Amino acid sequence: MPRPVRVAIVGAGPAGIYAADALLKSELAAEPGVSIDLFERMPAPFGLIRYGVAPDHPRIKGIVSALHQVLDKPQVRLFGNVDYPGDIGLDDLHQFYDAVIFSTGADADRDLDIPGIGLDGSYGAADFVSWYDGHPDVPRRWPLEAEKVAVLGVGNVALDVARILAKTADELLPTEIPPNVHAGLAANRAVEVHVFGRRGPAQAKFSPMELRELDHSPTIEVIVDPEDIEYDDGSIATRRGNKQADMVASTLENWAIRDVGDRPHRLFLHFFESPVEILGEDGRVVGLRTERTELDGTGNVVGTGTYRDWDVQAAYRAVGYRSAELPKLPFDPVSATVPHEAGRVLEAGVPLPSTYVTGWIKRGPVGLIGHTKGDANETVACLVADHRDGRLRTPAAPREDAVPAFLESRGVEYTTWQGWHRLDAHERELGATEGRERVKVVSRAEMLRASFGDG
């Protein structure tokens, strides 16, 4: 009797869930159908949405509603609190599944190779994001003694970090932030936040809406130096060919020509300033040195040899995320991605049977969350073609009950989709007592208790 095609997806963030959705809409969904198991190292699903999106962005977190609809499907199971490869490895997965898709994302900071990067007070944006998003595997406290802070980078993560540092704790209290984050931000001493980009306004990687949101806070004065509003032929071409870049540049122009107000916290957006050194004294950050740059006609910049030292006591690098290497899979250390062809994993240029990637581990940490849908569709199309052509491995133990039995034999306390509903209800109950939509649970042990119905 024919059985469903069994697919494992490692990583239950947007990329993995979009891959599950693509499978359910593919020709594999016809009888006898497709059976999908998502493995997630956190006790809760949703990945970047839960642990990478700033708490004051409920619009983006609304994507969870669409992801819920996929995980609600009877063909989909969730195994949370399961680590790859500690709890289940590639050989194990191939034993149970016809195909394996990796969608493990990127949650580490890219390196920035400048002197002083290792000083106390020099931080990676990803670590700070994990703290304020209540990630269970990071310290509960964050040092926020600096009154003047530098943020290096001009992407949306840089804006998130700058905005969280500049806002008051009470402004963020209506969100889902846990008590330890609120307490930490209440003690935050920052009154000036400086965001630095080495190129100009036309090359900034902000999305227009994220940029405009900076100005919505009643406590943040956003300041742009009119001298930083400059374009060359390459910049003008970028604005003409990219509506979002043009909107960003227009917003920055408007801020540059307005009068500076008197809101208590100041957030400066600096352009044409390339960080060259984080200055230290007694092992701690005491400043930032930048080199002034200028446009070269193509939209790129060159150094001018003019340097400036900025009085800051902390520096956050927000120059991009990096994926972690996955055991048993090839890895390109330069791009920090798995080599692939349209989603088929390549080892020495040859497709690794029944093994695929999607999302940031596939293409690098660029683009918005919605861009992962295209990745998922491309990868699943390859998987479907390989099934049609008989190129998928035949698993030794394809029965659905084999996987829970395997995890239980290893003593893995795995959570389920039903467990997420219990955790979700628990967090909403915590929020209701404070007049908030939810309060995020941070402790992994408490997450497990709530998921199992013990808390």
Domain 5-106+323-415 fold = Rossmann fold (3.40.50)
Strand runs (DSSP E) across 134-180, as ranges?
Answer: 148-152
pLDDT digits (tens, 9 = 90+) for 1-11: 689 999 999 99
pLDDT < 70: residue spans in the chain: 1, 368, 455
- pLDDT at residue 1, rounded to an integer: 66
Tell me the domain boundaries of the chain.
Answer: 5-106+323-415, 108-321
Query: What torsion do the CA atoms of 247, 249, 252, 257 make, to the nearest 10 degrees?
Result: -110
pLDDT digits (tens, 9 = 90+) for 39-50: 999 999 999 999
Are 253 and 239 spatial neighbours (Cβ–Cβ below 8 Å)?
no
Q: Which parts of 340-399 fold into alpha helices (H)?
A: 360-363, 372-388
CB-based burial of residue 333 (10 Å sphere; 0-12 exposed, 13-18 middle, 19+ buried)?
Answer: exposed
Identify the bridge partners of residue 285 per DSSP, sorted by sequence position.
280
Q: Which parts of 231-296 fold into alpha helices (H)?
A: 233-241, 243-257
Instruction: Tell me how far apart the alpha carbons of residues 218 and 403 are, in angstroms, rounded to a whole number.
Output: 52
3-state helix, strand, coil in the chain (%, to 5): 35, 25, 40
What pTM was computed for the model? Answer: 0.95
Are 87 and 410 spatial neighbours (Cβ–Cβ below 8 Å)?
yes
Query: What torsion do the CA atoms of 102, 105, 107, 113 make, to the nearest 10 degrees?
Result: 100
Instruction: Tell me how far apart the alpha carbons of residues 130 and 138 are, in angstroms, rounded to a whole number.
Output: 7
- pLDDT at residue 366, rounded to an integer: 80
- pLDDT at residue 264, rounded to an integer: 95
- pLDDT at residue 455, rounded to an integer: 55
- pLDDT at residue 58, rounded to an integer: 76
Task: Classify 115 as helix, strand or coil.
Answer: coil
Q: Which amino acid, one-letter code, is at 266? A: R
- pLDDT at residue 390, rounded to an integer: 96
Per CATH, the architecture of 108-321 is what? 3-Layer(bba) Sandwich (3.50)
Contacts of 195 (CB under 8 A, 6+ apart): 150, 151, 153, 154, 158, 159, 162, 267, 268, 269, 270
